[in-house]
Chain A
Amino acid sequence: MGKKQAFRGLHASPSPVLKWILAALPFVVGLIVYLVASDMRHTANPHDKLLPGIGRMIMSFKDLVLTPDKRTGDILLLTDTLASLKRLAAGVVLAAFGGLLLGVNMGLLPGIRALKLPFITFLSMVPPLAILPILFISFGVGETAKIVLIFLGVFPVITRDIYLAATRVPREQVVKALTLGASGAGVIYRVVLPQILPRLIDTVRLSLGPAWLFLIAAEAIASTNGLGYRIFLVRRYMAMDVILPYVLWITFMGFSMDWLLRRLTARRYPWYQREEA
């Protein structure tokens, strides 16, 4: 047998250093492409707004973070971020909590399954953005409509995923719990639900992408603050030097949330990964 390849083939085993280099490579390439393109545009037109240079973006971002808004006296990035995170958290937490309860009950109680599964499956096929006008009409343009949009966008998916996870808990465990004297509720909430919690975190991690999408969409259409509102507001002035840092900031927050949730699963539910492996 030949020496193991570092990168190529099925049996490649990249060293830790190489792994870091490989992970960084696409980012570096992307950055270089951007810088070259930006430079080319600036040589052609020093006032180009489409691809602002790094320095320009840092300056605008500094402005957003350090200088209070002339009209309101607020630090814009901070107020936008807080407003957006509040909506996102409310929608996602409600959906996670509701999805967990409904999903686990649907998974174990045939009656509830018969009652709710077709409805939830139907609901999950409704494009949330298509009913956004309905939400604005019925809930007004305040916070409620935005939170409801996020909720409706991720709740059916979380519910269905939790439902599937609950049905995958071996029948043996349910019977076992019954022979140990558990009641029906005991089986659901003391035996099955604790086993599903890490799965819930995984589902929430996957739902965060769509949740951000719905948030930005709702803010873009009707809002007075928030990250999505700001991006769509400055679009009118082609202020790419604001839009790009905002997008990076949103991406960074999404990435951090994902990472934190993953860490939480690993710390809190050490048995979970082992089960998956």
Chain B
Amino acid sequence: MERQIAAAKAVLFLLCLLPVAYYGLGLWQDTLGANPIEAFTRGLGDWALRLLLITLAVTPLRRLTGQVWVMKLRRMLGLFVFFYACLHLTAYLWLDQFFDWPAILMDIVKRPFITTGMIAFVLLVPLAATSSNAMIRRLGGRRWQQLHRLIYPLAMIAVLHYTWMVRVDVTQPAIYGLMLALLLGLRLWWRFVDARKPASLLGGFPRSKHRIIPIQTRR
């Protein structure tokens, strides 16, 4: 099992690098169309949001399939969200604004879609910084879990960031919003259902007050 998980992780790692390879190569080869910098910046933002939704899909996937091992992929997915968010932000600061700090500051203060993008990024930082096993131990499972619930408001803010950027036709952001609503709604629903179930029906697990976070064993 350990070996299969390691293989799955390696495959997933390479898959997660495909978008950055596509956009990086596209920028280099000038195949991103008439406005390559915009395509690059938006493409990386798209993937940060997609990976965020995929990360949020891991727990429901475990629950629906009973495959507990998928939880071991969650941290890598979350870190890739941070990776793409960093690239997206860098593209904006560098290629879009060329480090014109007064203009950037003005954007953050005056433009709601930039403000929300920045808030989402700032909320991501502590999550990425506390992703290691050592940090989980230092914080303690319960506090770590409370901190990482930040991902829920963060995801909503990220969808808002996308919605407010669009000039007309919010179909695309609406699709992301619906998927997020589904992923968060499932969690609410399960919380409600679990609270009503007697402990004996919870699949043999002793019912704990707080859910268990799997900590990866070091090899």
- Tell me, yes or no, whether A binds B: no
